[in-house]
Copies of this chain bind each other. A is one copy, B any other.
């Protein structure tokens, strides 16, 4: 498969006279795909039932005639103003109880049955019109579920649906009371109709209540998406996809992914560095105009799993964006680097957001490949160069990694529900593991808690909230060495401490007797170097101590093929742990200099230099902001 490039385009934003020239220029630039339609409901249906698709017909025809493959979006992320007159209660409600007003996007509640029907209706109309159109080669449903904190709503539609969901999950109110431990603080209910949404309580609500609401919230997103999938499937043979946003964890992407054909995500490396990455100032300064060296690859690898091997970057940052606290420009070369790194991680398509910068609306300061006046923005030349690189490169097969990380959205919900300590969250823990693997020059696959992994040397499953024997069995069967912990198997699905104790690994005599959380300035040092930070567990059991804290308590216990880790490792401890684990399973590692990363595909060793300056590694010099595709020769 040869990876391809694409771009996001809004014909409704521009005079029709410009479309053909735009399409021709896209083709000249080497772009093969164009995404349209996903915010255009007010133009498709200006007033209820008044369908206007002539302009979209002409847009598809113009783009297709130029040779572009169209991704058609359903416009359900932006219900038009008249929708509120039909469904005044469709608005999502924030955790403070305020309805989220019209005037931007994503203002709907995922549980509003009337709005779900409207979405199915418009999807059917579009599907019927373009499902067999030869130019329409893929379908995007909605846009960035959960972005702007929209996965959860605290309004009446959500409340009603939550009660129904609970009744379905628990059968009887007695069962729910028992499962949640509602005898605590006299929180027992007499009927499902007494249960409220878990916001605005005096102190924290029952974590069982919150976690149920979080599971419900995810299920509602999955069902919302499924409603459109069910409409479109019979109407088209083109693949269905959604574009996820980075570090959005409020719903189970694996479950949505199972209903779709391709996973795509929206990659804004510089925006993410500024807006959603915990790092010290030196790191943020060093990579200010490049983005974090691991954040993109993490999501690439994650979405490869969500898409069961098929994934795209749907929106690739092409210049400064508008939404982060600070919005610097990418260093020259970075747009190409990001694009090629995605390819190295197996992307089928990398699509830039957006073709031409809009002169109006919320994103008018968001760069495109063209400036608002139609001149080339700096990203254009890099897109062109990337297209040439891809043509030279030919087929790229992602290959299978030798190391996997088990990623579990429900664990994030659990630890967000009851963090127990500031500075500890699931994403940070998993990401710190991922970085450590990358510092060792390793490529990484992700697996979900329902996957059956096979033939890995090493699987890491940090922070996995709920364990069961079947899951543990699948992991152990799928690798030579599995490392669980910290905070693994710490709760039941109903957020109770399991009766069998924690972590409850069937094959390891190791118990968590005590949990501590620590301020950042107080770490718990490990004999020989490194330390646990934020989170420390006190372990007992007959399993051998593989590492010990300086106070003599175990930091790592394990037997053949199964280790348990007692805390949140700092970087030094992660490095020691990865070295020890890979040594145990005879997997060679290669320490990478800061900012240089390596991705091994089936055919290449790809070196990606996020530094502004050149780096030499193993005798190879890589220029700053450059990518090298080397024939794979098992360095």
Contacts and interface: CB of A to CB of B under 8 A. Distances in A.
Interface in A190-207: 190, 194, 196, 198-207
A494 B99 CA distance: 27
Interface stretch (A36-44, A113-121, A432-440, A560-568): A36-44
A82 B516 contact: no
A541 interface: no
B326 A421 contact: yes
B202 A39 contact: no
Interface string A171-202: 00000000011111111111000101011111
Interface string A146-175: 011010000000000000000000000000
A126 interface: no
A590 interface: no
A471 interface: no
Nearest to A199: B101
Main secondary structure of the interface of A (DSSP, over half): loop
Interface residues of A, number: 107
B514 A365 contact: no
Interface stretch (A367-375, A398-406, A603-611): A367-375
A163 B122 CA distance: 31
A522 B42 contact: no
Given A181-B359, A364-B207, A501-B373, A328 B188 contact: no
A78 B496 CA distance: 21
A483 interface: no
B101 A208 contact: no
A558 to B, nearest CB: 23
Contact of A326 (B40, B101, B519): B519
Contacts of A148: 202-203
Contacts of A187: 42, 78, 81, 102-104, 361
A98 B95 CA distance: 11
A231 interface: no
A630 interface: no
Contacts of A189: 81
A202 B499 contact: no
Contacts of A150: 202
Interface stretch (A216-224, A317-325, A341-349, A444-452): A317-325
Given A13-B184, A420-B327, A497 B372 contact: yes
Contacts of A13: 183-184
Residue of A81, A147, A188, A375 most packed against chain B (CB within 10 A)? A81
8 contacts: A39-B185, A41-B186, A42-B182, A101-B202, A102-B187, A107-B202, A326-B518, A327-B421
